[in-house]
Amino acid sequence: MDSRRKFLGKIGLTIGAFPFFNDSLIAAVRQADQGDPEAFWYQVQKAYYQTPKFINLENGYFSPQPTETLKAHAEYQRMINEMPSWFMRRMQREEKTRVKQQLAEFAGVSPDEIAVTRNTTESLDTVILGLKMEKGEEAVMTDQDYLSMVEAFRQKAKREGIVNRMISLPLWPKSDDEIVDAYEKAITKKTRVILVTHLINLTGQVLPVRKISDMAHRYGVEVICDSAHAFAQLDFEIPELGCDYYGASLHKWLCTPLGAGILWVKKEKISRVWPLFGDDTYGEDDIRKFEHIGTHPVHTNLAISNALRFHNTIGSKRKQDRLRQLRKYWTDQVKDLPKVTLNMPLDVDRSSALGNISIEGYSPNELSEYFHEKHNIFTVAINRDSVKGVRVTPHLYTTFSDLDKFVEAVKQA
Ligand SMILES: Cc1ncc(COP(=O)(O)O)c(C=O)c1O
């Protein structure tokens, strides 16, 4: 028995085995498999506690945790608080390694290629700012990428003299080729890297990352994938994307506590990126150099394990299909209404839980306020040059009756 187990045995604890598991959910999976999906989804809805004060259709910022993850997180915090430095000095490393292995398995990659970070911004800003580039080398990005990543590239341009090329993406692409071509046209002899957003947060559009990566690699250009919204929302594993660097937030669709992210770097590329926080504890090609963030809330790392368990009970494909079903439920009912525009592609493979609507005569802010004040429905206004509308994002706990109320609000508007 190792010393950790002896100690835990003495105090009666086994980390990773806190029993907050929702048995009714496991039973309900059988109901779904036997052809009663709504009985299953009813149990999933009950697995989250959400305020009855308003209908929340703004689940794009981050996801609530299911109650079992919330409880496990609190319990880990209590446990670490009871044996603070002991845990940090004697147990933290082993526990974090265990969680990392589970996360790597879920993502379909080796634990030697992932770092657990605090969010997508940390993951990708580490790559963007740390990537060794020469003055005059170019980066390609779009007018629909997340601003934190674009800002990191702008800072890199000021500091290191790289050149940023911004392209425009269609809201309603007719084919994957149309999107791949848009990136390809921006490539020059000096292009070094492309930033691709896997699932665009403004509209919910899903981009063909694999095709963009394959095209970029033909020119010797590397690909950074911003998968903040796609991880644990869409059913895929990281290697399928063919990118070189990958970042996502776990507090979005994996439903972990706030402040958890993943950075994946292809093994042979790790040494090409400087860590954000100085590190010479690990080698240049050791992914752990990116985890040098000092003392942090380790109970959040531990709860990733519970979030994975909840997610895997539902299953990635079932979750992806349900989220698309909820989105389709409302968009089908409003898409042909006069004055309504859906600022997103509706084909299944290009869509996700997120949608974007505008109504003639309303600015994005006015429309979002109208939903809130007149119908008690919370959404968010999107006011970018590239997209103007209101983002509407149901979650697994959203009911069809919630969406009926939203559809009625659109009709009244
Ligand atoms: C596409 C995209 N990238 C990056 C981020 C940043 O995520 P975080 O704030 O968790 O770092 C977001 C947040 O909404 C996003 O939508």
Identify the CATH number of the domain in which residue 198 sits. Answer: 3.40.640.10
Instruction: For tokens 């990566």, name the residue.
Output: 213
Same domain (yes/no): 199, 305? yes
The residues facing 381 across adjacent strands are 390
Instruction: Please count the CA atoms within 13 angstroms of the CA of 219 that sit on its side-chain side.
Output: 20
Same domain (yes/no): 143, 255? yes
| Residue 85 located in a structural domain | no
229 lines ligand 1 (CB under 6 A): yes
380 lines ligand 1 (CB under 6 A): no
Among 269, 285, 309, the domain boundary falls at 309
Same domain (yes/no): 265, 163? yes
pLDDT digits (tens, 9 = 90+) for 243-296: 999 999 999 999 999 999 999 999 999 999 999 999 999 999 999 999 999 999
- The pair phi, psi for residue 128, each rounded to 5°, is -60, -50
| Residue 401 located in a structural domain | yes
| Residue 18 located in a structural domain | no
Report which residue type is found at 127.
V
| Residue 42 located in a structural domain | no
**Measuring CA to CA, which residue among 331, 350, 353 is closest to residue 342?**
331
- The H-or-E segment that residue 127 falls in is helix 120-130
Same domain (yes/no): 375, 276? no
Q: What's residue 16's pLDDT?
A: 52
Q: What's residue 18's pLDDT?
A: 53
List of residues 6+ apart from 354 with CB closer than 8 A: 60, 199, 201, 203, 204, 229, 327, 344, 391, 392, 393
pLDDT band for position 15 (cuts 50, 70, 90): low
Residue-by-residue DSSP string for 194-234: EEEESB-TTT-PBP-HHHHHHHHHHTT-EEEEE-TTTTTTS
Q: How far apart are the first and last CA of the chain?
A: 67
Q: What's residue 82's pLDDT?
A: 94
pLDDT digits (tens, 9 = 90+) for 384-393: 999 999 999 9
Same domain (yes/no): 277, 298? yes
**Cα–Cα distance, 403 to 399 (Å, whole number):** 7
Same domain (yes/no): 281, 320? no
Same domain (yes/no): 303, 335? no
123 lines ligand 1 (CB under 6 A): no
119 lines ligand 1 (CB under 6 A): yes
Report the separation in Å between the CA atom of 152 and the middle of ligand 1, taken as the mean of its atom positions.
Answer: 13
Report which residue type is found at 297.
P
The domain of 396 spans 316-412
Copy the structure tokens of residue 120. 């997508």
| Residue 4 located in a structural domain | no
List of residues 6+ apart from 303 with CB closer than 8 A: 65, 69, 72, 73, 76, 256, 257, 260
120 lines ligand 1 (CB under 6 A): yes
Same domain (yes/no): 257, 337? no
Q: Which position has the higher pLDDT, 413 or 34?
A: 413
| Residue 31 located in a structural domain | no
What is the average pLDDT value for the chain, to the nearest integer? 93
Among 309, 332, 349, the domain boundary falls at 309
List of residues 6+ apart from 172 with CB closer than 8 A: 344, 345
CB atoms within 10 A of CB 349: 10
pLDDT digits (tens, 9 = 90+) for 353-365: 999 999 999 999 9
Residues 149, 128 contacting (CB under 8 angstroms): yes
pLDDT digits (tens, 9 = 90+) for 202-224: 999 999 999 999 999 999 999 99
| Residue 57 located in a structural domain | no
How many structural domains are present in the chain?
A: 2
Say if residue 19's pLDDT is above 80: no
| Residue 91 located in a structural domain | no
Report the separation in Å between the CA atom of 313 and the middle of ligand 1, taken as the mean of its atom positions.
Answer: 26
146 lines ligand 1 (CB under 6 A): yes
**Cα–Cα distance, 374 to 405 (Å, whole number):** 11
Among 277, 309, 341, the domain boundary falls at 309
Report the separation in Å between the CA atom of 121 and the middle of ligand 1, taken as the mean of its atom positions.
Answer: 6
Predicted model pTM = 0.94
Same domain (yes/no): 217, 109? yes
Relative to the CA of 145, which ligand 1 atom is closest? 1
Please report, for residues 36, 37, 66, 331, the alpha-carbon distance to residue 33 in angstroms, rounded to integers and kept in the order given.
7, 8, 22, 27
Same domain (yes/no): 170, 299? yes
**Cα–Cα distance, 373 to 378 (Å, whole number):** 9
- The H-or-E segment that residue 324 falls in is helix 316-334
Q: What's residue 26's pLDDT?
A: 74
% of the chain with per-residue pLDDT over 90: 91
CATH of the domain at 364: 3.90.1150.10
Same domain (yes/no): 261, 384? no
Residues 129, 122 contacting (CB under 8 angstroms): no
Instruction: For tokens 């930033």, name the residue.
Output: 195
Relative to the CA of 198, which ligand 1 atom is closest? 1
**Cα–Cα distance, 45 to 208 (Å, whole number):** 31
Residues 69, 310 contacting (CB under 8 angstroms): yes
pLDDT (average), residues 164-191: 97
Burial of 209 (0-12, 13-18, 19+ CB in 10 A): buried
Same domain (yes/no): 121, 224? yes
Q: Please tell me the residue having the least CA distance from ligand 1 atom 16.
A: 201
Say if residue 21's pLDDT is above 90: no
Look at residue 78 and give its three-state secondary structure.
helix
